Amino acid sequence: MAGVRTSRAVPGDRVAPVFDPIDTHCHLEMLDDADAALVAARAAGVNAVIAVGMDAASSRRAVDYAQRNRDVYATVGVHPHEARLLDDTMLGKLQRLAHGDRVVAIGECGLDYYRDRSPRATQRSVFIAQIGLARRLDLPLIVHVRDAGDEAMEILGEFAEGVRVILHCFSLIEQVEECNGRGYYMSFAGNLTYKNAGDLRAAAARVRDELLLVETDAPFLTPVPHRSKDNQPAWIVHTVEKLAEVRGWEAARAAEVTTANARRAFSLDLL
């Protein structure tokens, strides 16, 4: 059971209570020293880390990290920025990787109309293809959405019924109740701690308890008080603390709830 146990020194951080959260979204292959980051995460009491794939190469590396570390799990997928690269050969590689016993989800995939690094029609078709892959393999789907909320929700509504959906780095603040109604997991990252994130914090307060998740998205979205540095899994504790604050909980409860949800969402207790 998650909860505050002791205080330990976290490399590069203050001495903080240990909450046992699960970082449900981290790009280990993008960290300067992933092994050192995992050591720091363990010292902070982080229960597990999910290493997320964004293309064939990063998906393979995520699987490698998971095979070498019993507290790391992997996902495989194609980020919307890379959607233009997906063909039948790559999809076949992803499907073979996804059969690994340490792979717990498909993604991240979705729509990003902010950067538009792949044509929008291609993003849509690649998103739908990965929803289909998640359905065939009975795996949850990690979804990235930026400036495309209405269309993403439309696609999910049409193609993802019965698929466990995790909305990573949740930003659909106008659609919280719809997400609650559909049973989508909503994952909050370090931007929850930012001064200008009042609307996001208000949204986090309205999510059903059983649908709450936390993540770092490391090395991105570094939480306060570390904004000038690359993010790392150990700093998930700051997001847990802020989530607890906005919901009127003790930090231990926020960690316990989100850890139980992560185990259920990704079927971690079955591995």
Percent of the chain with pLDDT over 70: 93
Average pLDDT over residues 129-143: 97
Three-state secondary-structure class, residue 6: coil
pTM: 0.93
Helices 236-247 and 251-265, packing angle to 10 deg? 110
Average pLDDT over residues 214-241: 97
- Domains of the chain: which residue ranges? 19-266
pLDDT band for 269, please (50, 70, 90 cuts). confident
In 3-state terms the chain splits into helix, strand, coil percentages (rounded to 5) of: 50, 15, 35
Question: Distance between CA 232 and CA 28 in Å, rounded?
Answer: 9
Three-state secondary-structure class, residue 218: strand
- Lowest mean pLDDT of 12-26, 159-173, 242-256, name the range: 12-26
pLDDT above 80 (res 11)? no
Mean pLDDT over all residues of the chain?
93
pLDDT band for 19, please (50, 70, 90 cuts). low
The DSSP call for residue 192 is G
Q: Are 44 and 13 in contact (CB under 8 A)?
A: yes
List, for residues 97-120, the tens digit of each pLDDT value: 999 999 999 999 999 999 999 999
pLDDT recorded at residue 16:
45
- Tokens 């979205």 correspond to what residue? 221
List, for residues 184-221, the tens digit of each pLDDT value: 999 999 999 999 999 999 999 999 999 999 999 999 99
Average pLDDT over residues 227-239: 97
What CATH homologous superfamily does 19-266 map to? Metal-dependent hydrolases (3.20.20.140)
pLDDT band for 270, please (50, 70, 90 cuts). confident
pLDDT recorded at residue 83:
97
Longest dimension (CA), the chain: 51
